């Protein structure tokens, strides 16, 4: 089938199995969120899909081809990590054009994208001169500048304040709706997953596998703090209390701070 096919039979760290019999597929252009308790191997899973970690039993295919066989175009993959991970010695613009296949020829595209994410005035600034939110925007622009078919995001908006996080989420959705890459978005915040994704995959505690494949029944645009999402979250917790026990712990802490 077209799109992404992931089948991880087993992933071990030393003698401990962290992922076992985890499988899912996703269509081209779909927005998928992966939710699970911390320590469920979410980052490990992304590393295996991105090819950073090749030491596992299983396969990761794109349109029925191994995703990172030799000779594959690098333009297929964009990635955002938990931290912005910018090169401190490169300017905003150079950080983005760094990942282009021809940094000089495609420079204009990098500039246009940076202007689009609101960083047109700081093209020559060093990362240390940018705020945390701005650094994430550079990181987001870097992920989109390669025109990715697959975009892997590992809790990219964690530890940002709510307004900054919301602006970034809006920006991500706008760029996604324009370019339509397949997005795999890892988060431990269920509300964030429900606000962003078409489908949410719930991962079990380690050794992790997919416990529930849930299609979000909400129209876009959605509001992270909206009642729709709060209600949906409650309903999910009621229907799958044991399934979500790992998620629940973190969610209660977050929900405590929300006033409706």
Partner 1 sequence: MISRQALLRVGSLMGLVVLWALVAWVADSSVLPSPWQVLMSLGRHTLSGELPFHLAITLWRVLVSFLLAMCIGTLIGIVMGRYKTLDIAMDGPLVLGLNIPALVMIILCYIWLGLTDVAAIVAVALNKIPTVIVMVREGARAVDLRLLEVAQAYRLPRLRMLRQVYLPQLYPYLMAAARSGLALIWKIVLVVELLGRSNGVGFQLHIYFQFFDITSILAYTLAFAGVVLLIEALIMRPLEHRLTRWRG
Which residues of the chain form contacts with partner 1 (CB under 8 A)? 50-52, 72, 74, 77-79, 81, 83, 85, 87-90, 94, 98-99, 126, 128-129, 142, 146, 152
Q: In terms of CB distance, is 96 or 247 closer to partner 1?
A: 96
> Any residues with CB less than 8 A from the CB of 150 and at least 6 apart, and which?
4, 49, 62, 67, 76, 77, 78, 181, 182, 184
Tell me how far, at minimum, the Cβ of 73 lies from partner 1, in Å. 8
Q: With respect to partner 1, which residue has the nearer C-beta, 94 or 116?
A: 94
CA distance 69 to 157: 30
For 141-178, letters b (16+ CB in 10 Å) and e give bbbbbbebbbbbbbbbbeebeeebbbbbbebbbebbee
The C-alpha atoms of residue 89 and residue 98 are separated, in whole angstroms, by: 12
Smallest separation, CB 175 to partner 1 (Å): 17
Q: How far is the CB of 50 from partner 1 (least distance, A)?
A: 5
Nearer to partner 1 (CB atom), residue 143 or residue 201: 143
Output the smallest distance, CB 118 to partner 1, in A: 22
Of 35 and 153, the one with the shorter C-beta distance to partner 1 is 153
Minimum Å distance from CB 183 to partner 1? 15
Hey, is 22 helix, strand or coil? strand
Helix then strand count (H, E) for the chain reads 8, 10
Return the number of the residue (98 or 243) whose C-beta is nearest partner 1. Answer: 98
C-beta of residue 70 within 8 angstroms of C-beta of residue 53: no
Q: What DSSP letter does each residue of 93-110 carry, written as one string? A: HHHHHTTSSSTTTTHHHH
Please identify, using beta-carbon distances, which residue of 61 and 99 lies nearer to partner 1: 99
Whether residue 221 is preceded by a cis peptide bond, meaning omega within 30 degrees of 0, is yes
Q: How far is the CB of 96 from partner 1 (least distance, A)?
A: 11
């Amino acid at each position: 089938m077209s799109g992404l096919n992931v089948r991880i039979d087993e992933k071990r760290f030393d003698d401990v199995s962290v992922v076992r019999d985890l499988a899912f597929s996703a269509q081209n252009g779909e927005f998928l969120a992966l939710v699970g308790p911390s320590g469920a191997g979410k980052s490990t899973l992304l590393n295996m899909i991105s090819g950073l970690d090749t030491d596992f039993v299983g396969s990761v295919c794109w349109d029925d081809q191994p995703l990172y066989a030799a000779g594959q175009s690098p333009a297929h993959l964009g990635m955002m990590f938990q931290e912005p991970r910018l090169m401190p010695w490169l300017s905003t613009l150079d950080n983005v054009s760094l990942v282009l296949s021809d940094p000089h020829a495609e420079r204009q595209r990098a500039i246009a994208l940076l202007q689009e994410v609101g960083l047109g005035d700081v093209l020559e600034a060093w990362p240390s001169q940018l705020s945390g939110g701005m650094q994430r925007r550079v990181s987001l622009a870097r992920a989109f500048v390669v025109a990715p078919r697959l975009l892997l995001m590992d809790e990219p908006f964690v530890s940002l304040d709510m307004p900054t996080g919301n602006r970034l989420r809006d920006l991500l959705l706008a760029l996604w709706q324009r370019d339509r890459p397949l997005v795999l978005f890892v988060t431990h915040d269920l509300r964030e997953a429900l606000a962003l994704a078409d489908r949410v995959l719930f991962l079990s505690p380690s050794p992790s596998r997919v416990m529930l494949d849930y299609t979000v029944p909400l129209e876009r645009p959605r509001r992270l703090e909206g009642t729709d999402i709060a209600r949906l979250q409650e309903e999910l917790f009621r229907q799958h209390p044991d399934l979500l026990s790992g998620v629940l712990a973190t969610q209660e802490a977050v929900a405590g701070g929300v006033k409706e």
